[in-house]
Chains A and B, each alone.
Chain A
């Protein structure tokens, strides 16, 4: 015998079916959002905990390091002064020219008794004045200067003046930059 169905409620209308679908979609969205929110919350919470713990640790370490450096302040001051002053000293040493080495160079240009004057200006240019007994001696001196130039002992040599007296005495004025 077939069962007879009795339904007192009217069948779901089309409007109610849409609501049911909407409910399902919204339910899925809600769960999705809640899950994302929870995951993000956990991630942010963990990161915050990690970062704040690390920061506290680093803060404590910094305080310890600063205290240690303050204890070493005297040594730091000495080291900084030493570095600053040794840099200055290095520059001062490089600025000083060994003019003592100029005298052996002069003896290679001519005999000491021929020299009447030697002067060095602020840029390091040497000017020598020589009084020579003959033109031949003058030629020898000039060729000696050229030899020193070829040997790169001096640079930019110049014959500033050359005068021949009635007595045959020659006065020479030479200038050059010595490679000291």
Chain B
């Protein structure tokens, strides 16, 4: 009798408390986790949007250029700074410059790890400063003063980039031809073998880069390398493990 009375009296209160409890539980275990999930979903959506904007930008940049034109430009730059020491092209270039300047090439010596891997060669301060590799070599040329002047001027203005490091001239008292020994550096840089991932950011050719390419194009190509140019670097692939059967 008493229980029935209590139940009848507190029935509505009990129902209200049950609904409130349900609400609290729903809030704790339903609404809050869902809110977190939705937040994460929105963040990941924003990341995706950024990625897509970056990819779209990348495609726009790549679409700006004609592949044939880019290949031609790369060919020019590669003839100036080849992927390896390119000794035949280097000898040919120096010989051709000497011929054009009217001096005789008496001797040419190349030093510094002719056959070595990139990692085995220690970088010189100049290489560190320029961020590229330099092949030191010496040249001895014989000729008149004006021809020497022409040789010294021209040797730094050819498509195979090199710089005169040091030289010494002893002027003879009579009309004998001069003999100069020059120390030079020829620049080269190994090819890049892999690109960044698909999402790697690229930028268009800057005015400075285009100006450099134009300058190099204006330089005469004295001797070309016969090496094959890898125009399609590996993209996003890794070397196969040789120990896996």
Q: Is the CB of B166 within 8 A of A121?
A: yes
Cα(A83)–Cα(B67), bound, Å: 14
* Known A-B contacts A78-B67, A81-B74, A86-B212; A68 and B235 likewise in contact (beta carbons under 8 Å): no
Chain B residues with Cβ under 8 A from A99's Cβ?
Answer: 152-153, 156, 164, 167
- Does chain A have a CB within 8 A of B80? yes
Chain B residues with Cβ under 8 A from A120's Cβ?
Answer: 164, 166-168
Chain B residues with Cβ under 8 A from A41's Cβ?
Answer: 31
- Does chain A have a CB within 8 A of B244? no
Render A81-112 as a binary contact track against B, CB cut-off 8 A, 1 for contact: 11111111111110111111111000000001
Q: Is the CB of A98 within 8 A of B48?
A: no
Q: Is the CB of A79 within 8 A of B205?
A: yes
Instruction: List CB contacts (< 8 Å) of B164-191 with chain A.
Output: 164-171, 183, 187, 189, 191
A55 interface neighbour in B27, B44, B150, B167, Cβ under 8 Å: B44
B73 interface neighbour in A40, A48, A82, A92, Cβ under 8 Å: A82
Taking the closest CB of chain B, its distance from the CB of A155, in whole angstroms, is: 19
Chain A residues with Cβ under 8 A from B198's Cβ?
Answer: 66, 69-70
Interface set of B (CB-CB < 8 Å, partner A): 9-10, 12-13, 16-17, 19-20, 23-24, 26-27, 31, 34-35, 37-38, 41-42, 44-45, 48-49, 51-52, 55-56, 58-59, 61-63, 65, 67, 70-71, 73-74, 77-78, 80-81, 126, 129-132, 145, 149-150, 152-154, 156, 161-171, 183, 187, 189, 191-192, 195, 198, 202-203, 205, 208-209, 212-213, 215-216, 231-233, 235
Interface set of A (CB-CB < 8 Å, partner B): 16, 19, 22-23, 26-27, 29-30, 33-34, 36-37, 40-41, 44, 47-48, 51-52, 54-55, 58-59, 61-62, 65-66, 68-70, 72-93, 95-103, 112, 115-122
